[in-house]
């Protein structure tokens, strides 16, 4: 679920690149690894992200294969929240990306907000 932390990452990312491509996870991908149906459907989430002035292009994220995404899009920097730093997934990616000249830039996690927290609050309202 899109929140201020996502907006902060997009804003910071655009400050460090000329052309910002954003992957939006498809509903199927969200369900496959989060085991939850997204509250906001993919097409609506995509439209929201496309409307953000920092974003130049939105692509569907159909899997979690970031190296495969690089093969298609040929980016030179990947931006991600620092909550992923030192995770097994991103440690492996850093090694893979180093070999092809791609860096990963981590931005500070926005404290006090997350999609999970928003979902919990919404569940309490119901």
Pairwise pLDDT comparison (44 vs 112), residue with the higher score: 44
Annotated catalytic residue: which of 34, 37, 66, 74?
Answer: 34
Print burial letters for 88-108: b (CB count within 10 Å at least 16), e (below 16). Answer: eebeebeeebeeeebebebbe
pLDDT confidence of 85, banded at 50, 70, 90?
Answer: very high
Vertex 68 angle, CA 64 and 69, to 5° = 80
Q: Is 34 a catalytic residue?
A: yes
| Average pLDDT value for residue range 36-49 | 93
| Phi, psi values for residue 124, rounded to 5° | -70, -30
Pairwise pLDDT comparison (115 vs 70), residue with the higher score: 70
Pairwise pLDDT comparison (108 vs 11), residue with the higher score: 11
Annotated catalytic residue: which of 14, 36, 72, 99?
Answer: 36
Residue with tokens 């492996």: 92
CATH code reported for the domain at 4-125: 3.40.50.620
How high does pLDDT run on average in the chain?
A: 90
pTM of the model: 0.84
Q: Is 36 a catalytic residue?
A: yes
């Amino acid at each position: 679920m899109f929140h201020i932390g996502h907006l902060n990452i997009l804003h910071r990312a655009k400050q460090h690149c000329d052309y910002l491509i954003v992957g939006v996870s498809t509903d199927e991908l969200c369900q496959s690894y989060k085991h939850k149906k997204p509250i906001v459907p993919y097409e609506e989430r995509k439209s929201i992200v496309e409307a953000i002035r920092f974003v130049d292009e939105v692509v569907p994220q159909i899997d979690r294969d970031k190296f495969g995404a690089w093969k298609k899009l040929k980016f030179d920097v990947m931006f991600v929240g620092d909550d992923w730093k030192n995770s097994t997934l991103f440690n492996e990616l850093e090694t893979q990306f180093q070999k092809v000249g791609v860096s990963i830039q981590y931005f500070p996690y926005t404290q006090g907000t997350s999609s999970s927290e928003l979902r919990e609050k919404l569940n309490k309202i119901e």
